[in-house]
A and B are shown apart, each in its own frame.
Chain A
Amino acid sequence: MKLLTLNFLTCAIKTCKTNASSFPLHPRDAELEIQEADVNLPFLKNILPRLMWEELRTICKELGLPDLPPTPPTPTDLISGGNSTDTTEGRTQAEQEPSQTAKDLHRVLLETCIQEGKLVCGCCGHEYAVKEGVANFLLPGHLV
């Protein structure tokens, strides 16, 4: 399971969803694996506004990964040479190369996968198992 997915997951128990502490789910005893994938620069730029940056930073800390920068990158930060003056010359998207910032973000969000472990709700404490890269959110009968 990709770390990006954690940006769109919370506790499956309805009463938790309205409680801010249920997001994000907290990885525990996580075994990580890098699964390489091609960098898609327009995709990265477009998902930027959807990222819950503070929460992603928390997850990275909890997993012992290198710190994410305190503020989210801007779309320009993701383009190689994006801050230099030649961006005004109107390079097409196809010509743009991902910056190191983009590559780092890609590595964290799309290549770093939780293969085994648990995801814990910060509200009710329920633990969801992750096995072979798949998180299981089926609830026992008394919690449905």
Chain B
Amino acid sequence: MAVSEAAGLSYEEEHVHEVYEQIASHFSSTRYKPWPIVERFLKEQPNGAIGADVGCGNGKYLAVNKEVFIVGSDRSTNLVKIAQHHKPHDVVVADNLSLPHPPHSFDFAISIAVVHHLSTPARRMEAVKCILDLLRPPQQGVSGSGGKALIYVWALEQKSSRRGWDEGSEQDVMVPWVMTAKKEKVPKKKKKQQKRRGEEGLAQENGEAEKGSEDQKEENSEAPETKPEGDKTFLRYYHLYRKGELEGDIEQAGGVIVESGYEKDNWWAIASLK
């Protein structure tokens, strides 16, 4: 499923941007609990620090620390409209490869579950570079004095997850998102089913990255006789990161790793400029 560099943008338009635009409201309703490492990173920032949230989605990370000022951006206008209401922050619609920020002007940046949507190696590396370029460079001779970026991507190695991907699996995958049609009157049996789905949505927020209820929903929708009318399946493109791949991209993009790790099916890294 590898995509040529030239075709990357139009591929992502169809298999990432357009999907999020359509599922924005439903997607947002399932995403409200911040992941612990992201929360810790944001709370560590001093009062008055200036940050960027690249690919802010519905803005759930804008709610974590009200003592800093974050400019969030996302490719999806519909998600940005939802993210707009988090004070004192602000949001704009922008592409993560063409960010509208002056270089080296931010104390911190986050980009959570975003870079894995870029469909070629060069575009993923460029996305990392664009995040690093936002950061204040370190003062001469003072290590650790520069701005820091936290980047989070979905891991290939997640054999204990429902999806079961692991080392050696295909890294470029299409992941379904099923939007359940709302109904006024639901027979008892289906009601139960819907409730279960809701619980899955919560479990998802308890750390299971960009996965979650989709799998089982997909199974439901693949069986035509049980498929509730009006359900719609969207496929999103993901690149699943191998161990060490994110750190490699960061170093190639001119960054240094401050800290990195694995948490709940995701690789994450905190980086700064050299």
Contacts and interface: CB of A to CB of B under 8 A. Distances in A.
Interface of A: 1-2, 4-5, 8-14, 17, 23, 37, 40, 42-47, 50, 110, 128, 132-139, 144
A144 B98 contact: yes
B47, B71, B92, B106: most-surrounded residue (chain A CB, <10 A): B92
A43 B99 contact: no
Contacts of B97: 144
B46 A46 contact: yes
A10 B50 contact: no
Given A10-B100, A12-B94, A136-B93, A110 B71 contact: no
B55 to A, nearest CB: 14
Given A9-B101, A10-B101, A135 B48 contact: no
B166 interface: no
A47 B102 contact: no
Interface in B31-65: 46-50, 52
B77 A136 contact: yes
Contact of A47 (B69, B98, B99, B103): B69
Interface stretch (B79-87, B169-177, B243-251): B79-87
A134 B106 contact: no
Contact of B80 (A17, A42, A134, A139): A134
Interface in B13-42: none
Nearest to A133: B84
B91, B102, B103: most-surrounded residue (chain A CB, <10 A): B102
Contacts of A2: 88, 90
Contact of B48 (A47, A134, A137): A47
Given A13-B98, A138-B95, 8 more contacts: A8-B105, A9-B92, A12-B95, A46-B48, A50-B105, A133-B84, A136-B93, A138-B75
Given A23-B102, A47-B50, A5 B71 contact: yes
B94 A137 contact: yes
A134 B106 CA distance: 20
Interface of B: 9, 46-50, 52, 66-67, 69, 71, 73, 75, 77, 80-81, 84, 87-88, 90-95, 97-103, 105-106
A45 B46 CA distance: 12
A74 B75 CA distance: 38
22 contacts: A2-B90, A5-B92, A8-B71, A8-B105, A9-B71, A10-B101, A10-B102, A12-B99, A23-B102, A40-B66, A44-B48, A46-B48, A46-B49, A50-B105, A110-B88, A132-B81, A133-B84, A135-B93, A136-B93, A137-B98, A138-B94, A138-B98
A3 B59 CA distance: 20
Contacts of B50: 8, 47, 50
A58 B91 CA distance: 22
B92 A137 contact: yes
A125 to B, nearest CB: 15
A45 B48 contact: yes
